[in-house]
Amino acid sequence: MLLLEEEKEQLKNYDGKDRVLHCEDIQAEIKERLSVEPVVFIKSKIPKLDDILNGGFKKGQLVVMGGETGKGKTSMLVNLTYRFAEQNKKSLWLSYEMPYEDLFEKFNWTELPLPEFYLPRRIQDKDMIWLRKRVIESVVKYKADILFIDHLHSLLPFACQDEQREIANRVRLLKALALELNIVIFMAVHTRRALEDIVPTEKDLKGSTTIGDEADIILFIWRRTLRQTKAEKESEGIKYAGNQSVLWVAKSRRSGRKDYVPLIYSNQLFTEMSYEYKEDPF
């Protein structure tokens, strides 16, 4: 009882940064901050996607780009790098999955000018302390606004004993980092199964349910397939509709909306198909 009374006395005049305030005081602080630095949405330049997200991406968000291997995750992140650079937004890339020459091929660097983005000279470690230092470095040196991680599962240590727990810990740290540094973090995440014949949800993300819980936005991308019977798929294999893809917004914490965006991939970039496109990809 004595300890409680002492604690009460100590905290009665507590004035630290984390002190408890009336909601109107917090409201006043928010208004003052927004008057100096209004909220700016970072556009994908894909009109329907920006509409679904209520204006675009917002700093402090953790965004998941889910999909199978080789079905467009990295290409979409490259696409966003170009679109963000057009808005003078600077990106840091952490490419764990492929060597830099392969990543630069994704940017079609021999044909197109590179957008403005930054990379560590080499990927030194999968440790989260190393990652945090490189992100802070990019923010203070270059005023980076966005972090791309390709991909989440590459952050796991070798001989991982508890994959789900390790993934959950890393996702929570990344979400905290996005809020602390006021940046948008995109991370590519593998899926548990093929996406062509399902409406994917956060449960289809490989690794841990924490990925879906912590993410502010969950996007899935896959190549659009032609209509085939089960027998045709078994005998002929899956047939794809040329360079068409589907982007599915499975979660948007701000807007609460779910919808799909039909895309065409050309010259290393995705563009939205006409709104006259009516066929349900599912």
Digits of tens for pLDDT over the chain (282 positions)?
658 888 888 898 999 999 999 999 899 988 888 887 777 899 999 999 999 999 999 999 999 999 998 889 999 999 999 999 999 999 999 999 889 999 999 888 778 889 999 999 999 878 899 999 999 999 999 999 999 999 888 888 777 778 888 899 999 999 999 999 999 999 999 998 877 777 898 999 988 899 999 999 999 999 887 776 677 676 777 777 788 999 999 999 999 999 999 999 987 789 998 755 555 665
CATH match for 43-272 among 3.50.50.60, 3.40.640.10, 3.30.420.40, 3.40.50.300:
3.40.50.300
**226 and 244 Cβ atoms separated by less than 8 Å:** no
The pLDDT value recorded for residue 58 is 96
Give just the sign of the alpha carbon dihedral 254, 259, 264, 265: positive
3-state SS string for 152-202: HHHHCCCCCCCHHHHHHHHHHHHHHHHHHHCCEEEEEEEECCCCCCCCCCH
95 forms bridges with which residues in the sheet? 150
DSSP one-letter string for 189-257 = EEBSS--TTS---GGGBSS-HHHHHH-SEEEEEEEEE----HHHHHHH---EEEEEEEEEEEEETTT--
The pLDDT value recorded for residue 274 is 72
Q: Cβ neighbours of residue 87 under 8 Å, at least 6 residues apart? A: 42, 43
Question: Residue 57 carries which DSSP code?
Answer: B
Angle made by CA atoms 103, 185, 60, in degrees to the nearest 5: 160
The pLDDT value recorded for residue 221 is 95
- For residue 69, the number of C-alpha atoms closer than 13 Å in the C-beta half-sphere is 5
